[in-house]
Structures are given as C-alpha cells and as structure tokens.
Chain A
Amino acid sequence: MDLSRRQFVGTGLVAAAAFFGLPSIVSAATLEEAIAAFTGGAEAGSDGITLIAPEIAENGNTVPIEVDAPGAEAIMVLAAGNPNPDVCTFNFGPLAGRQGCATRIRLAGEQDVIAIARMPDGTFKQARQNVRVTIGGCGG
C-alpha cells in the first residue's frame, strides 16, 4: 500500500488520538463536566475530607486509595489525567459505620486524584492529591 506523506501523517494523528482516548471524550464527560454534574457548579470547601493516596505508585494498574468525609451523603472520586476522569462514587446508607471507603484504582500516568464529598446540607468538600506513577524496569 502506498501512503503519501500527508496520508501517513493523517493516519498517525488518528492513531495518536485513538491511543490517547480522544474519540471517547466525545461521549465521556471532561473533568469539569464530571465535577459539575456532581456539584451543580457549587464551590467546594477543603476541610472535613481526607484523601489518602501514595505519592508514588509502583504501578498504575493498582493504586490503593482511601477517602473519608464524616457526615457525607456521597463521595465522588476522579482521576484528572485519565482518558475518562470518572473513577467511582460512594453513596453511604443509614448503616454506614463511617462515610469513607478504600479501593484500588487505575491511573494512566502521573496526575491528580480528586475526591469531592456531597454533604446533607447541599455543600461540597474537595481534596486533591498528586500521584506519580513509576515507570517500570527494563520490561516497562
């Protein structure tokens, strides 16, 4: 198959866009949209919420995180640098022993992990933590 330089460059761009997940962003929410959908655009305070994530993760496939926001109705977790920023939302029921949860998440490279808690009075609290993701040894 003969490819002109222009065709080749074009194909490369499409491939690059596909690799970085750009087409899926058309349907998936951007970070701002995801946050707005949860907060309705309200400002978030920073007290009363804890986000624990490693400063350096040995592998982006399995990064342990934990969030806690005493009294919250729900906590949304976002990964700002992932192709799709949504990670999960914890909704706490009447028998929740605390308004917090630990889980393991995927991070596509160094980025901020964000947790936003929705409180019963309609206010929001936000925590943010940068996580560096280690590039593996010779095997990657």
Chain B
Amino acid sequence: MADNVTPRVRVPRDASAGDSVSVRTLISHPMESGQRRDGDGNLIPRSIINRFTCDFNGQNVIDVTLEPAISTNPYFQFDATVPESGTFQFTWYDDDGSVYEETAEITVT
C-alpha cells in the first residue's frame, strides 16, 4: 500500500428527496505512471488507483476506470440523485490490491 493514502469526500449534509447533489472526492496517492525512470535508469513500476466507485444505499452512482494519465491525488466531481436519507459508499482500488473506503451520510427531507 502506498504511504499516507487518505481519502477525502464532500457531500451536502442535507437535501430534498430526488435532488441532484454535488459530490467531490480526493484521495492522496502518487499515481506512479510506470513511464518514469529512477536515478539508475530503471523503470519505476506502475502503481495507481485503477478503479473508483460511488454507491448510495447500495445503488451505483458512478464507476470509474482510471489509467496512469489521471493526476497525482485523483480528484472527481460528479452529481448524485438522492431519493431518501442514507449513506454514500466510496471505494478506491489500488494496483497493489489495497482497497480504501470512505462513507458519508446525507439527510433527505
């Protein structure tokens, strides 16, 4: 697992039923592309987050396939429809098999 991988997410605290809300996510990760070389000229092996998903109450919002061309500290901003109160589940999948998870609650009135 890459060092100091910290997920951050931001969703509104509350919304009206059926609203589309803005969701932002950022995870600290070097996203080593596999194209760079170290001081001795050897390729530094690729090590990236290769997939990111966001679900709300078990239903999918977005499922992203990432390639090495995504910047260091991957950032996404998208919208989600919230039919009722519940929990966002965010999951990042690392090349090395690590899985990073974060959740966020929203109250829908």
Contact = CB atoms under 8 A, between A and B. Distances in A.
- Contact flag (A, B; Cβ within 8 A): yes
B7 interface: no
Nearest to A20: B35
A100 B79 contact: yes
Contacts of B78: 90, 96-98, 100-102
Interface residues of A, number: 31
Interface stretch (A43-51, A80-88, A117-125, A129-137): A80-88
B81 to A, nearest CB: 5
A26 interface: no
Interface SS of chain A: helix, strand, loop or mixed? strand
Contacts of A21: 35
Interface residues of B, number: 32
Given A92-B62, A94-B59, A96-B61, A104 B75 contact: yes
Contact of A98 (B59, B70, B71, B79): B79
A63 B67 CA distance: 15
B56 A95 contact: yes
B28 interface: no
B44 to A, nearest CB: 13
Interface string A66-108: 1000000000000100111011111111111110111111110
A103 B20 contact: no
A99 B77 CA distance: 12
Interface of A: 21, 24, 61-63, 66, 79, 82-84, 86-98, 100-107
Interface of B: 20-22, 33-35, 55-56, 59-72, 74-83
